[in-house]
A and B are shown apart, each in its own frame.
Chain A
């Protein structure tokens, strides 16, 4: 079945550091790929998405490129801020209405 594997956290960074969170997937067909973000005590919000190979999703300085050859969708940000502290989830949806989520990566950015 479909599955997502993302790097384990927690990740702790200083402000203005470079952030990478690795995500790889297993799926039949050609899934859509997503990154969701969860701030403390809240639900998830869509951060970015890509629906086909080589697409790049971007939002709020975050980027991720759909790499079919490596089945990956790594999240990157060049200069993080304290406000980026959150839990980040990689997810995929292949052929129906169900999203498959990774385990989440907790990111803490220190001033």
Chain B
């Protein structure tokens, strides 16, 4: 079945540690996204990529980094510079054909600080 796979489902970070969240899609989508979800705040865009080897900052990119070396993969690194990393992280993809295209979401990764 086609879809988006996020791993791990739960992740714990120690102080000063960088952690990487995985996102893989087999939908042959050009565009991929990372959102952060906090209770009562909806989803906020961290980074997005419209094509391989290119990505742009979203609304809350500070303390995060991404790469897009392959079309199927868009990993997110939460660096030690992100002082409040506890949140639910959602990866999404779309065909990238326009503003009325729907996003397909993964099941998310819950990141917590030890």
Question: Considering only CB atoms, which chain A residue lies closest to B6 in the complex?
Answer: A43
Q: Which one, A43, A49, A89, A98, contacts B102 given CB within 8 A?
A: A49
For A36, the chain B residues whose CB sits under 8 A away are: 103
Q: Considering the complex, which residues of chain A in the window 13-45 have a beta carbon less than 8 Å from any beta carbon of chain B? A: 31-32, 34, 36, 41-45
The answer to whether B102 touches A96, judged by C-beta atoms less than 8 angstroms apart, is no
A41-B107, A42-B107, A45-B105 known; A95-B99 Cβ under 8 A? yes
Cα–Cα, bound, A67→B41 (Å): 25
The answer to whether B42 touches A102, judged by C-beta atoms less than 8 angstroms apart, is yes
The answer to whether A93 touches B99, judged by C-beta atoms less than 8 angstroms apart, is yes
Question: Considering only CB atoms, which chain A residue lies closest to B31 in the complex?
Answer: A97
Chain A interface SS verdict (over half): loop
The answer to whether A98 touches B58, judged by C-beta atoms less than 8 angstroms apart, is yes
Distance of B92 from chain A, by nearest CB (Å) = 8
Distance of A53 from chain B, by nearest CB (Å) = 13
How many chain B residues touch the partner (CB < 8 A)?
26
Whether a CB of chain A sits under 8 angstroms from the CB of B76 is: no
A42-B108, A43-B90 known; A99-B103 Cβ under 8 A? yes
Binary flags per residue of A37-63, CB closer than 8 Å to B gives 1, else 0: 000011111100101000000000000
Closest 10 CB pairs of A and B: A43-B105, A32-B100, A93-B99, A103-B42, A46-B102, A101-B43, A101-B42, A51-B100, A44-B105, A43-B107
Can you pick out 28 interface pairs between chain A and chain B where the beta carbons lie within 8 Å of each other? A31-B99, A32-B99, A32-B100, A36-B103, A41-B107, A42-B107, A43-B92, A43-B105, A43-B106, A43-B107, A43-B108, A46-B102, A49-B100, A89-B43, A93-B99, A93-B100, A95-B99, A96-B99, A97-B33, A97-B48, A97-B50, A98-B33, A99-B103, A101-B42, A101-B43, A101-B44, A103-B40, A104-B42
